[in-house]
A and B are shown apart, each in its own frame.
Chain A
Amino acid sequence: MFRAIVDNIKGLWSLIVGLSITGRFFFSPVKTVHYPRQVVDPESLASYRGPLELVPADDVGGSKCVSCQMCVRACPGNCLTVIKGKEGKAPETYLYDFTLCCLCAACVESCPTSAIRFSHNVYLTARTREELHMDLLADLKARAAKASQ
């Protein structure tokens, strides 16, 4: 009986502690942003895993990929298609199906030349499934062109 009373008084005290925490949070500044007018500071997106992208090797849209197929084999979801070009080791086609990707990073870790990485694109939207079947070489060229402007 005595114990139960002590327990209940402790319990009541814990309720007051809880109230004080939410009370403090009520007056502290909000953590979220109003999306279309404000965006999250890019630094806090550094750990975000967006769709894959190729790492640029130079300024004109070349990639570090040597078409070794390690990523294709490592991928549990069969998202990647890499076809070696006629000359040299550079790939001619690099297709990536984001609809199948589970963002597990097996491809990124298995790549011997560190040619792929996760982008930090949190704002990706798509209306059709096809938009998520991405051509990473074209994407790399587009980024290089945009950067050189």
Chain B
Amino acid sequence: MRIILYECKKILKLPLLVIIILFTLLFYNLFMDSQYYPNDDASLAAGVDLAHILMDKYQTVLPYSEMGILQEIKQQQLQSLDSLVQHNEVLQNAGVKDYQQLRGMDMDAVGKEIQEAFWEIDFDKGIREVFLYQGIDNIEEHMEYAPFMGIEKGREEEAAKKICESQIAQDGDEATIKRVAQVIARNEMSLLPTGAFNRMAEDSSKFGVLLLFSCLILILPYQIRERLAHVNPLFATTNTGRGIFGKRYIAAVLSCLLVCLLQAGAFLSVLFKVGILKYRFCPASGNGWDYLWFDMSFGGYLTLSISITILFNIAIVSVFYLISRIALNYIVGLAIGLPTAILIGILYIKVMNYFLFVGHLRQLYVQFGFIAGGLLLAAMIVVILHFRDRKRDVMV
């Protein structure tokens, strides 16, 4: 244990940690979108506002029987907007009675004053109301287009097929349709806004790549430095013996785990800061847009997705470990390590993007196969190196 701690100290060098922090900042700025949520998309903002009003009352889901609330909220917004119109002198003088009428006017045909009054309401004083109003319109439109609530018993599959065609996959397979039908049968709407979910789902596969490179930056220099110091023959003759190799591996895994957990903490704080974590108790499937293969809460999905990402990365540490054991020096190590990391990273994004989302059953198998393959590879490397080290000449 003492040795492993020593090794961890050698791995977690301050300059490397600084490099990782800088890399992380760069990575977030270049690739991670969650941090901009929801302000970079006005229609998203409306959904968010609505979700918060509904969550105050219904916590996580809106049952079909309560759908009337949407109309109520919409009317409330309309009333506030009407009162804004009625308190506006310009509009009053022009004979505009309510918001509907204002909206219906051809803004190119009216005078400048009316235009300005309209903008004042739409983009300033009444912006929140307008967004909410439109948000509900969106939901209603969406429900007309792909109704997923209020379906008669026994007709869920039919509806599911429509949804699959219109928004999931043109040729969603049978398993996909079955799963969507299952969610439809719940007859309720998850209050998780689709924008929040999609940001997180996309970012969490990129998060995997971030972890991958963080581990690479941490492990490769350490392992290669150890080799270049030519200390292995000496260490292998001590009480610890060839066990030093295994201990170094364990230390590498522990250090990477620490960095992965810190990264996960940072990712979660970003999600928390922008408000995405608010929906953690909402069901992940069934806001009308997003369907997962399995029932779980959004928080559960987040936990699972981050855990699997970390697990996979820890597995990949053994690949880096192997590379650094066979590489002759830094140059060779990086020459093999970097492309390997990039390749695994690309594969990871390709395969793990929208982890567990319905579409094709095949895709689910590919995702599971990918993770299982990574773990298996890691286990193989560890076992092979362990037995190889036990009875083998120590050359360098």
Q: Is B one of A's binding partners?
A: no
Residues of B in contact with A (beta carbons under 8 Å apart)? none
